[in-house]
């Protein structure tokens, strides 16, 4: 019996040693260990996909970043002793601000590094906090879960490999007691963080000029492509656009003008019942420019006829009559609100809305140009009409 106990003890010991040894075997790479008052977080750094960001982080961790301007942190481990100053439950934990209020940093900023292979598709993603493009400094955050809306807005430069339970326990003002860097494998050991970041920063101004020129060139190419597509579109749909322009122009000749300057013509009369104040009416619309081109419609068949059909909108039920509280004065351009007030249930009309009753000098969303007169065909319903099959 004693022998069995000894053998069992020996087997258990060997098994534990094997598990311990297995746990210690990690893949090659660059790793950061963040020790906090709640425990330790181990992160693998994406030095090949986000080299500038990782180089910045490592030089701050190891206290050899030459561009730090904060006197009491220059030449010292930057993160040691700082707090997690921002924690949002079920979202992320954020640290790295020497001021502890979200406004501090190392005294410089650097560019973003976005990579299609690095996505906010799980918890434990390590990324840079920023206040806009190219404003990265020292602040970082670690996510609790997938946050896809952050893709290509915040540079990802690592992920948690151990200690996610610690991440989930962190509260605001918990302390980063120490951060250390571990290099495993020849490639990781060759990664000279100080040299990489210094080379980038010394050439930053010139690189930004090149990036600006490249961005401007891409913008011109995109504009040229958009113009070419617009020409192709107008050529293809010229017959329907021209016919609509003629129709709208002819209708305008017999339109009535209201004191505000809105012009309208009732093209089809309904029941004659006036929508009661406080009730909800439903309306379909089609919006045109004076040249007969369509900019939007709630009717799927009209959008299709003009080559403007949106499959996503259709899938989400976007081609349906809109509900509107009778008497409401906000939420729409003044001319459209006035147009609705002129219609009875079942009526259909054409409305010519001058720019001062539409979007004026500012235009709208790159779709409505400044000072544009808008023409709407509107039809009003007492109940939501059934979709066409």
pLDDT in tens, 107-124: 999 999 999 999 999 999
| 67: in domain | yes
- Same domain for 267 and 196, yes or no, is no
Write b or e for each residue in 343-353: b if 16 or more Cβ atoms lie within 10 A of its Cβ, otherwise e.
bbbebbbbbbb
For position 72, what pLDDT does the model report?
87
- Same domain for 255 and 186, yes or no, is no
For position 389, what pLDDT does the model report?
59
Q: Tell me how long the chain is.
A: 389
| 225: in domain | no
Question: Does the model's pTM come out above 0.85?
Answer: no
- Same domain for 159 and 308, yes or no, is no
Q: Is 94 a catalytic residue?
A: yes
pLDDT of 26 strictly over 80: no
Q: How far apart are CA 300 and CA 296, in angstroms?
A: 10
Query: Of 56, 65, 94, 136, which residue is the catalytic one?
Result: 94
Task: Match 């970043």 to its residue by tokens.
Answer: 65
- Same domain for 281 and 179, yes or no, is no
Q: Is 86 a catalytic residue?
A: yes
For position 366, what pLDDT does the model report?
82
pLDDT tens for 172-201 read 999 999 999 999 999 999 999 999 999 999
| 387: in domain | no
- Same domain for 181 and 88, yes or no, is yes
Q: How far apart are CA 123 and CA 156, in angstroms?
A: 12
pLDDT tens for 276-305 read 998 999 999 999 999 999 999 999 999 999
Mean pLDDT of the chain: 92
Classify residue 277 as left (phi > 0), alpha (psi -120 to 50) or beta: beta
| 151: in domain | yes
Within 10 angstroms of residue 60's Cβ, the number of other Cβ atoms is 25
Q: How far apart are CA 95 and CA 378, in angstroms?
A: 54
78 touches 63 (CB < 8 A)? yes
Least confidently predicted of 50-54, 127-131, 318-322, 327-331: 327-331
Q: Give me the percent of the chain exceeding a pLDDT of 70.
A: 93
Q: Is 141 a catalytic residue?
A: yes
Query: Of 86, 144, 183, 284, which residue is the catalytic one?
Result: 86
Last residue of a domain, one of 144, 169, 201: 201
- For 344, phi then psi, to 5°, come to -95, 170
Q: Is 197 a catalytic residue?
A: no
| 12: in domain | yes
Instruction: Report how many domains make up the chain.
Output: 2
127 touches 46 (CB < 8 A)? no
Query: Of 150, 168, 309, 342, which residue is the catalytic one?
Result: 150
pLDDT of 161 strictly over 50: yes
As a whole number, mean pLDDT of residues 379-388 equals 88
| 388: in domain | no
CA triplet 159, 161, 163: central angle to 5 degrees? 105
Query: Of 85, 144, 154, 284, which residue is the catalytic one?
Result: 154
Query: Of 48, 64, 115, 130, which residue is the catalytic one?
Result: 130
- Same domain for 251 and 194, yes or no, is no
Radius of gyration of the chain (CA): 32
pLDDT of 2 strictly over 60: no
- Same domain for 47 and 132, yes or no, is yes
Q: How far apart are CA 250 and CA 352, in angstroms?
A: 12
Segments forming the whole domain that contains residue 322 = 244-381
Last residue of a domain, one of 172, 201, 230: 201
Query: Of 26, 37, 48, 91, which residue is the catalytic one?
Result: 91
Query: Of 141, 191, 324, 336, which residue is the catalytic one?
Result: 141
For position 230, what pLDDT does the model report?
87
Write b or e for each residue in 293-303: b if 16 or more Cβ atoms lie within 10 A of its Cβ, otherwise e.
bbbbbbbbebb
Q: Is 316 a catalytic residue?
A: no
**Token pair of 228 as six digits:** 């070419």
**First vs last Cα of the chain: how many Å apart?**
82
- Same domain for 186 and 284, yes or no, is no
34 touches 179 (CB < 8 A)? yes
């Amino acid at each position: 019996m004693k022998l069995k106990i000894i053998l069992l003890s020996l087997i258990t010991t060997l098994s534990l040693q094997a598990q311990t040894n297995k746990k210690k075997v990690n893949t090659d790479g660059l790793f950061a260990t963040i020790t906090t008052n709640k425990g330790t977080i181990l992160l693998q750094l994406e030095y090949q996909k986000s080299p500038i960001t990782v180089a910045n982080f490592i030089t701050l961790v190891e206290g050899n970043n030459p561009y730090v301007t904060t006197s009491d942190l220059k030449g010292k481990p930057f993160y040691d002793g700082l707090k997690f100053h921002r924690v949002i439950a079920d979202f992320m934990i954020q640290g790295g601000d020497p001021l502890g209020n979200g406004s501090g940093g190392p005294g410089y900023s650097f560019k973003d590094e976005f990579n299609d292979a690095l996505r906010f598709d799980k918890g434990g993603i390590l990324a840079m906090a920023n206040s806009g493009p190219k404003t990265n400094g020292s602040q970082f955050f670690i996510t609790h879960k997938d946050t896809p809306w952050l893709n290509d807005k915040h540079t990802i430069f690592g992920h948690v490999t151990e200690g996610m339970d610690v991440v989930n326990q962190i509260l605001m003002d918990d302390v980063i007691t120490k951060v250390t860097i571990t290099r495993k494998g020849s490639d990781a050991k060759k990664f000279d963080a100080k040299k990489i970041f210094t080379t980038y920063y010394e050439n930053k101004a010139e690189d930004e000029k090149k990036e600006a020129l490249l961005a401007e060139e891409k913008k011109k190419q995109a504009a040229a492509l958009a113009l070419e597509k617009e020409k192709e579109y107008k050529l293809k749909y010229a017959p329907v656009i021209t016919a609509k322009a003629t129709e709208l122009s002819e209708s305008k000749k017999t339109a009535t003008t209201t004191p505000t300057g809105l012009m309208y013509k009732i093209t089809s009369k309904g029941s004659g019942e006036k929508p009661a104040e406080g009730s909800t009416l439903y309306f379909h619309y089609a919006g045109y420019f004076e040249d007969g081109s369509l900019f939007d419609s709630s009717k799927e068949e009209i959008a299709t006829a003009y080559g403007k059909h949106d499959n996503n909108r259709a899938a989400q039920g976007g081609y349906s009559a809109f509900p509107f509280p009778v008497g409401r004065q906000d939420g729409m351009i003044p001319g459209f609100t006035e147009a609705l007030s002129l219609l009875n249930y079942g009526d259909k009309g054409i409305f010519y809305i001058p720019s001062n009753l539409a979007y004026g000098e500012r235009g709208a969303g790159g779709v409505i140009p400044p000072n544009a007169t808008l023409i709407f065909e509107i039809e009003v319903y007492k109940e939501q009409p059934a979709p066409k099959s």
